[in-house]
């Protein structure tokens, strides 16, 4: 998977790049909408297409449980199953397993856990998580990591970080063995499409994940461990789990600086539109977060003037669009009053229109960020956002 940097901001670590995946080229910095169970809630793939989404995130843990990776493999892989022609990244499930609490047991070998759905017992190892993701066929796959909640002691953070490091090595070795065996099988098949299949299977990427909580020394060791194993991209995990915002930025900045300059950096699970602007300046290239979609379903809409609680009675007769500065079809066509009505009576269309708008806002924010880096004016954008104090005021 090729990554090229096409522009750097002179005033910060921000960079603009291109990530070449088997399912399209992604302009970075990029925000990836979250489609946990193979669908971005309240969106059709056609709507995501009209939004210009270049890559979606799906969740290995959830898809493993339902409908099962073997089912998806049998149906031609995740792209085909969910009708999505562009890139896919699958999260490893480490974050979900963390939240299972008493239902899991972490050992050197891997994780034993009980399904949150029916209590059935399951076993995931670093190798098995790669195997599942290969069955899903994502363009970017993540290693199994151990993610801790905040706060964690230095001792437990160190233990989890070192375990993640050993798991990373096993994941990479398994990944390489599987790549060689897939190559051999595909080449021997005589299939006229074998060269394409080889290209696609070899061009998908495995990313490492740096852990270590809020401890600088652990982050440094973890970053070294990951680079020693060697991945095609590096994620910063274990942030956005309850630590103060200043700590998130500070650890992200510290960690990003330890990662290779010419490879993609992915900050997992972050964040607000302001977070995106701040963290791009720290050198982050990829983001994902449920915030735009989850907030939309709860009636919280993002605008150039800050958040708007559309359920409020004050919008009952408001003929204005959600955001007059927004170019999305929801803002061009519908009033706040109509959206407020849809939320007040509990109609699905409220979630649909709200989600579309919020994703548009996030994607548009990323577009503005990329443009600003391209034109050398990122610092200006950044200052404006900081000065806006809550509102974005692009």
Of the candidates 299, 300, 296, 274, the residue with the CA atom closest to the CA atom of residue 287: 274
Please identify which of the residues 275, 285, 288, 323 carries the catalytic annotation: 288
Binding segment for a copy of itself (CB under 8 A), chosen from 40-48, 105-113, 190-198, 213-221, is 40-48
DSSP structural state of residue 12: S
Of the candidates 214, 205, 204, 217, the residue with the CA atom closest to the CA atom of residue 236: 214
Binding segment for a copy of itself (CB under 8 A), chosen from 74-82, 121-129, 213-221, 369-377, is 74-82
How far apart are the C-alpha atoms of 330 and 325, rounded to whole Å?
12
State the nearest-atom distance from the C-beta of 318 to a copy of itself, in Å: 9
CB 238 within 8 A of CB 147: yes
Is residue 9 annotated as a catalytic residue, yes or no?
no
How far apart are the C-alpha atoms of 280 and 169, rounded to whole Å?
29
Q: Which of residues 187-216 bind a copy of itself (CB under 8 A)?
A: none
324 binds a copy of itself (CB under 8 A): no
Taking the least distance from each CB to a copy of itself, the nearer of 60 and 255 is 60
Q: Which residue has the tokens 């680079």?
A: 227
Measured CA angle at 142 (ends 8, 78), to 5 deg: 105
Taking the least distance from each CB to a copy of itself, the nearer of 115 and 227 is 115
309 binds a copy of itself (CB under 8 A): no
How far apart are the C-alpha atoms of 10 and 371, rounded to whole Å?
14
Strand 104-106: give its sheet, edge to edge.
Answer: 104-106, 111-114, 121-124
Taking the least distance from each CB to a copy of itself, the nearer of 75 and 196 is 75
The stretches of 66-125 forming alpha helices (DSSP H) are 69-74, 78-82, 94-98
Task: Please return the burial class of 159, using the count of CB atoms within 10 Å of its CB with bins 0-12, 13-18 and 19+.
Answer: middle
Binding segment for a copy of itself (CB under 8 A), chosen from 37-45, 106-114, 208-216, 357-365, is 37-45
DSSP string covering 39-61: S-TT--HHHHHHHT--EEEEEHH
Taking the least distance from each CB to a copy of itself, the nearer of 261 and 333 is 333
How far apart are the C-alpha atoms of 69 and 47, rounded to whole Å?
25
State the nearest-atom distance from the C-beta of 49 to a copy of itself, in Å: 11
Around Cβ 389, how many Cβ atoms within 10 Å?
A: 9
290 binds a copy of itself (CB under 8 A): no
Angle between helices 336-345 and 348-374 (to 10 degrees): 130
Binding segment for a copy of itself (CB under 8 A), chosen from 12-20, 25-33, 131-139, 313-321, is 313-321
Of the candidates 237, 277, 284, 249, the residue with the CA atom closest to the CA atom of residue 263: 284
349 binds a copy of itself (CB under 8 A): yes
Q: Residue 287 is inside which H or E element, if any?
A: strand 286-288
Q: Which residue has the tokens 């309850």?
A: 242
* Of the candidate residues 316, 324, 371, 377, the single one contacting a copy of itself (CB under 8 A): 316
Around Cβ 173, how many Cβ atoms within 10 Å?
A: 14
Please identify which of the residues 91, 139, 145, 364 carries the catalytic annotation: 91
State the nearest-atom distance from the C-beta of 120 to a copy of itself, in Å: 15
Show the site string, 80-109: x = touches a copy of itself by CB under 8 A, - = not: -xxx--------------------------
Show the site string, 41-60: x = touches a copy of itself by CB under 8 A, - = not: xxxx-x--------------
Taking the least distance from each CB to a copy of itself, the nearer of 263 and 355 is 355
Is residue 203 annotated as a catalytic residue, yes or no?
no
* Of the candidate residues 6, 24, 71, 99, the single one contacting a copy of itself (CB under 8 A): 71
Of the candidates 233, 212, 209, 223, the residue with the CA atom closest to the CA atom of residue 30: 233
Taking the least distance from each CB to a copy of itself, the nearer of 56 and 143 is 56
* Of the candidate residues 2, 25, 52, 74, the single one contacting a copy of itself (CB under 8 A): 74
* Of the candidate residues 5, 103, 337, 388, the single one contacting a copy of itself (CB under 8 A): 337
Binding segment for a copy of itself (CB under 8 A), chosen from 36-44, 105-113, 279-287, 366-374, is 36-44
| Chain contacts with a copy of itself (rule: CB under 8 A) | 37-39, 41-44, 46, 62, 66-67, 71, 74-76, 81-83, 316-317, 319, 329, 333-335, 337-338, 340-342, 344-345, 347-349, 351-353
Catalytic positions, please? 91, 288
């Amino acid at each position: 998977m090729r990554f090229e940097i096409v522009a750097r901001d002179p005033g910060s670590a921000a960079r603009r790049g291109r990530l070449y995946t088997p399912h399209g080229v992604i302009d970075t910095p990029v925000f990836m909408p979250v489609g946990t169970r193979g669908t971005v809630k309240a969106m059709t793939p056609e709507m995501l297409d009209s939004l210009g989404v270049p890559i979606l995130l799906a969740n290995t843990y959830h898809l493993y449980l339902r409908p099962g990776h073997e089912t998806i493999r049998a149906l031609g892989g995740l792209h085909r199953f969910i009708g999505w022609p562009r890139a896919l990244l699958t999260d490893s499930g480490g974050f979900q397993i963390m939240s299972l609490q008493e239902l899991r047991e972490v050992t050197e070998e891997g994780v034993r856990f009980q399904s949150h759905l029916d209590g059935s017992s399951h076993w995931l190892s670093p190798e098995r998580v790669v195997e599942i993701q290969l069955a899903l066929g994502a363009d970017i796959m993540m290693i199994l990591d151990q993610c801790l909640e905040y706060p964690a002691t230095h001792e437990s953070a160190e233990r989890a970080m070192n375990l993640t490091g050993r798991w990373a090595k096993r994941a990479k070795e398994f990944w390489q063995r599987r790549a060689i065996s897939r190559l051999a099988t595909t080449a021997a098949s005589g299939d006229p499409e074998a060269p394409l299949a080889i290209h696609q299977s070899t061009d998908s990427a495995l990313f490492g994940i740096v852990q270590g909580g809020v401890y600088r020394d652990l982050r440094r060791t973890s970053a070294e461990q990951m680079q020693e194993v060697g991945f095609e991209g590096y994620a910063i995990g274990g942030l956005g789990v309850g630590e103060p915002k200043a700590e998130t930025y500070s650890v992200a900045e510290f960690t990003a600086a330890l990662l290779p300059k010419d490879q993609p950096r992915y900050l997992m699970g972050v964040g607000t539109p302001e977070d995106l602007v701040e963290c791009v300046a720290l050198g982050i290239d990829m983001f994902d977060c449920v915030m735009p979609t989850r907030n939309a379903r709860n009636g919280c809409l993002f605008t150039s003037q800050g958040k708007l609680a559309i359920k409020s009675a004050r919008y009952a007769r408001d003929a204005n669009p959600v955001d007059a500065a927004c170019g999305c079809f929801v803002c061009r066509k519908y009033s706040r009053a109509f959206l407020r009505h849809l939320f007040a009576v509990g109609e699905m269309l409220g979630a649909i229109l709200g989600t579309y708008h919020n994703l548009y806002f996030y994607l548009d924010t990323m577009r503005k960020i990329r443009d600003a880096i391209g034109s050398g004016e990122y610092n200006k954008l950044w200052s404006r956002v900081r000065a806006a104090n809550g509102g974005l005021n692009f």
